[in-house]
Amino acid sequence: MQNNEKILDISWKTILKIAVAVIVFYILFSVRQIIVWFIFALTISLLFNPAIDFLHKKKIPRPLAVIVIYLSIFGILSLLIYMMIPIFINEMQRFLDFFPQYFEKIAPPLKGLGLEAFGSLEDFFNSIEGFLTSVAKNVFTALFAVFGGIFTTLFVIVTAVFLSLEGKAVENSLILLFPKKYEAQVLAVWQRCQKKVASWFGGRVLACLFVGVASYISFLIFSVRYPFTLALFAGVFNFVPYVGPIFTAVLLFLIVFPTSPVAGVFIIIVFIVIQQIENNILSPLLMKKFVGLPPVLVLFSLVVGATLWGGFGAILAVPLFGILFEFLKEFLQKRRDRNIVTV
């Protein structure tokens, strides 16, 4: 009688490889926060490197070029923030002065939904005070949050500076990771990825500026309160695709509609028009659709990034998935070409 049973033979070498892979994935998952910091630093260095390389080609030593570019860019950003803070504080003060009247308009419907905090203005402030007290109850937690933010910022900036000083750090790492026969192909793909990351970031910044300026002009036309602050939120939140504009629309509705329903409806319509122009005309022209990621993959990347790394992950998800998509597309194309030649 013939034995048809198949015996599954797994060597110790295969088991060892699986175990190593599991351990590596576990370690990467455990340090995912540090990984996202490194990705932020890498993204900053990729954005600054073209300007640094330009100065380096003009016979300026690379360390000096790195110092000049980083100080110039962060200095300009600091100056812009310094100029915007007084306007932002002024509008926030006006909002706080107007808040009792605003509260009277929004409290009844929200109280009807079962939100006890909106029973009265005193209940609302007591709820806010209780929330802040619970957050700051643990002094060590509060200190960790403050110094953790400072440490994160310093880590990202210092890492970005060292990557820029190295110049070819990523290229050298890729050469070590891939076999010699794939070296030219991998470096070519990485060069394309660098250009596309830069185009993505530049496109997002210009798109956010367009949304912010167009929103500000619209708010002035319709005499909306706090136009600068609302336009600032619209531009900043627009950096995160899909999710940011939805959040902004909800915020505009809650702020404008209770005090002026007619203006609120028109503002929402105008904001939708601005988003349509940005999504369908401006962004494709500026970025050429980045790496051609389908909308489904963009949404998927946002969900994955936000789940793993929160808000920072949502921001980095699209360029990171774009790089992975570019390498995967190159691999599949080469494999397809080999199969055609074989046939």
- Can you give the residue ranges of every domain in the chain? 14-167
Tell me which of 77-91, 139-153, 195-209 is least confident.
139-153
The answer, yes or no, to whether residue 56 has pLDDT greater than 70, is: yes
Query: Measuring CA to CA, how many Å separate 312 from each of 38, 235, 302, 320?
Result: 12, 17, 10, 12
In whole angstroms, give the CA distance from residue 99 to residue 251. Answer: 15
Element (H, E) at 209: helix 183-221
Q: Which residue has the tokens 């890729």?
A: 174
In 3D, which of 125, 133, 129, 132 has the Cα closest to residue 107?
125
The answer, yes or no, to whether residue 74 has pLDDT greater than 70, is: yes
Amino acid in the structure at residue 215: S
Residue with more model confidence, 176 or 219: 219
What whole-number percentage of the chain has pLDDT above 90? 6
CB distance 219 to 235 below 8 Å:
no
- Give pLDDT tens digits for 297-311: 666 776 777 776 666
pLDDT of residue 89: 85
The answer, yes or no, to whether residue 217 has pLDDT greater than 90, is: yes
pLDDT of residue 91: 81
Rounded to an integer, the average pLDDT of 118-147 is 58
Highest mean pLDDT among 51-60, 87-96, 124-133, 197-206: 51-60
> pTM of the full predicted structure?
0.67
